[in-house]
Structure 1
């Protein structure tokens, strides 16, 4: 009898390992391979630095990684299991692939237009510092310095801070090993980039966000009433689970899906549109797919993101990465320098106007920064908001791009400020309220 129970216990443990643990190993190795390939080939970080800093949290550090310089790819596995591979292709970054992916298949890359030399923000040269009489520089520099770790510590893990006032860089600081040329992953800040593309289309008179979303699969059920506005505001009512601590919709999308935009398309309605707010990376990748529908060719789609927004405002360092079918992963995979992330914030601070050209309408900026009814003042259209006082000591008009592990581009119109923070710690470990308040307090108006 005892032997039978031991046998049964072994079967249960094997079943648990197969159903739960083994599937998680695929997630762990997929994350590690993708991050190693991106960090190394986009930002030239050595493997030992990536493993000791970028991949050293929770269980992701268990992965064993190998870089292949000649083939430009990375592999990872956990205890020799669930080996995953991520390939790098110049122009579209790193892509986590599956065993069916044809690596010999030709691929398209976006055409880029580098901005002309000039002073920041309309170029990349930092001008001579303008001294503003209403700025307490000692307090400002102390606030910025305090957001970084003391040497040897790993508590705040800030990598870059840039403070921009009236289009001028007031303060700028980087962690050891990083500088103004370092390309840093914005994670979900890419959602704000994706949203802005619809603003650019609207400004050109080419898209109406209040029409039903152009999804053929939805035309015979209640999903046909979902508008692009609903999607931009995360208000579609579609079923979705966004939890990076477990195997769920978002992790399956990022680490297993071939076509990331299709994952949300296939989800049923859980609520009626515009009655329930639900943060969804799948929704943003669906928006990327909708953008693809607006162009006759894939090349036009790839080019549009850069020629009509990213390169137009001089974010020349930015690299948007694609999924296996070649669409941009608009939910998560945008890399740029801290200064270039700041340019994106300035576009919104300046009401969509860039050096005299109206890329986004002021009405679009207002739409972006206005709370959607069901978010309790936390969300607008692919931007987070402080309208509900989430950060109690920060102006309520602040709205911001927000990404995993503490990525932020904060836009504060009442103070003429853009504050960029890039790092490896989110709100659970880094006090953004104190950081933002202390920077803002140094600006006297």
Structure 2
């Protein structure tokens, strides 16, 4: 009996130690699952069953047990019953992970929205387009290229191909339609960058200015410019590892104010000579934007009034952190068609239906390769300048998100291609097939 008791004691101690050591990781896993579940169910209007079987069914996240509360509009996730995280949905703001001290009775400010006509044809409205057949498009070859990535391996959910402002191919996985909101993940960085371009065009911002961060003014970080941050070339320390407890996972799933995660980091490398991909930098940039406005309401409104709704991307919602700042690194939701409008805005060099939202030179700016990025990265956009995709023009640039979310802009071909899914895929073959289908 004594031996059995000792064995049980050892096992109990081992279990406690295991929990203590892994508690931070369990916290992040439950946080990811709760946040994703709340957004998927209440913002994207998917079922809990679909969310659990697809979006949350990978790696250690699959260990989380998810529940939703329809009346309270929140999701709860636990891992082995050891801890529970909660995310709550707010109309107009999306979902946010909350802590126990979060005041659910306080009504948050939300952005004011305007909507384009459902009778005006896409892309300038949300209405149906006139049937248009381009004689130089091989539609059989085009559809074959699109069909090629709708398979169980790539888990593609949506593809929209836009040629000369016309949708020439469009396909959705079962359960998804043209009205389905889908998370862009890091494509949100390109949205956030565009806000800077619009402010710059309006004469309200100069990206060459030093970053207005008070805590940096007494050390070498004071020399970092907004331009350095947009190019992710600040030299600041940052660990962008999603498979571990890292800077980025702690920021997204533990922090109330995501703008601070990068701000507190020291310089690790020389500024403008050390490209390092950092979601913390993008959220710091969102925080800098917030300080440019006289009120929180003005900050919330601007992204929509001067950009998102002006382009008619009416399905799009940018979620905030607990502090009310847009999560500029990761949390923009929208339909594939609305993400296509975003691509068209860049294809038309900032001109939207006759109104110049940002200067044509802004396109040159975001597509100028960041020093030491080997031609892969510009100002919150990814590039093909180094020919990574060998059968795709080198001046193609794109918004890029986790699991292969993409908005490709191909200026020479007058093309925008949108793809959403749950896994990466053969981009070169996919785009080559689309390009060669147009003579």
- Distance in 1, matches of 2:114 and 2:338, equals 15
2:117–2:127 Cα contact (<8 Å) kept: no
- Among candidates 276, 286, 303, match of residue 301 of structure 2: 303
Please give the residue correspondences for 1:143-154 in structure 2 after superposition, counting only pairs within 5 Å.
143-149=145-151, 154=152
Please give the residue correspondences for 1:122-161 in structure 2 after superposition, counting only pairs within 5 Å.
122-149=124-151, 154-161=152-159
Match of 2:67 in 1: 66
Please give the residue correspondences for 1:238-257 in structure 2 after superposition, counting only pairs within 5 Å.
238-257=236-255
Task: Say which is worse superposed, 339-348 or 364-373, in terms of deviation.
Answer: 364-373
- Distance in 1, matches of 2:289 and 2:206, equals 12
Describe the superposition over 1:47-102 as per-residue Cα deviations: whole angstroms up to 9, x where unpaired.
Answer: 11111111111121111111000000000001102200000000000000112212
Q: 1:241 to 1:5 in 2, by over 3 A?
A: farther
- Among candidates 397, 402, 412, match of residue 400 of structure 2: 402
Instruction: Give, in angstroms, the shift of residue 12 of structure 1.
Output: 7.0
Match of 2:416 in 1: 418
- Distance in 1, matches of 2:78 and 2:12, equals 25
Match of 2:391 in 1: 393
Instruction: Give, in angstroms, the shift of residue 348 of structure 1.
Output: 0.3
Instruction: Give, in angstroms, the shift of residue 106 of structure 1.
Output: 2.4
Match of 1:442 in 2: 437
Equivalent residue of 1:339, what SS? helix
Instruction: Give, in angstroms, the shift of residue 8 of structure 1.
Output: 8.7
Describe the superposition over 1:306-345 as per-residue Cα deviations: whole angstroms up to 9, x where unpaired.
Answer: 0011001000000110100101001000000000000000
- Distance in 1, matches of 2:164 and 2:268, equals 44
- Distance in 2, matches of 1:91 and 1:129, equals 34
Please give the residue correspondences for 1:369-380 in structure 2 after superposition, counting only pairs within 5 Å.
369-380=367-378
Task: Give the paired residue count.
Answer: 435
Match of 1:231 in 2: 229
Match of 1:116 in 2: 117
Instruction: Give, in angstroms, the shift of residue 435 of structure 1.
Output: 1.0
Match of 2:43 in 1: 42
Match of 2:97 in 1: 96
Instruction: Give, in angstroms, the shift of residue 412 of structure 1.
Output: 0.6
Runs ≥4 residues deviating over 4 A:
2-14
Equivalent residue of 1:132, what SS? coil
- Distance in 2, matches of 1:223 and 1:432, equals 38
Instruction: Give, in angstroms, the shift of residue 11 of structure 1.
Output: 6.0
Describe the superposition over 1:391-444 as per-residue Cα deviations: whole angstroms up to 9, x where unpaired.
Answer: 122111110000001100000101111000001002xxx111111111111111
Match of 2:167 in 1: 169
Match of 2:203 in 1: 205
- Among candidates 318, 331, 339, match of residue 329 of structure 2: 331
The unaligned stretches of length 5 or more in structure 1 are none
2:210–2:226 Cα contact (<8 Å) kept: yes
Describe the superposition over 1:101-120 as per-residue Cα deviations: whole angstroms up to 9, x where unpaired.
Answer: 12112210000011134111
Match of 1:105 in 2: 106
- Distance in 2, matches of 1:251 and 1:69, equals 28
Task: Say which is worse superposed, 232-241 or 96-105, in terms of deviation.
Answer: 96-105
Equivalent residue of 2:76, what SS? strand
Equivalent residue of 2:66, what SS? strand
CA RMSD in angstroms, aligned pairs only:
1.7
Instruction: Give, in angstroms, the shift of residue 129 of structure 1.
Output: 2.3
The unaligned stretches of length 5 or more in structure 2 are none
Describe the superposition over 1:184-219 as per-residue Cα deviations: whole angstroms up to 9, x where unpaired.
Answer: 000000000000000000000000111100111111
- Scaled by the length of structure 2, the TM-score of the pair is 0.96
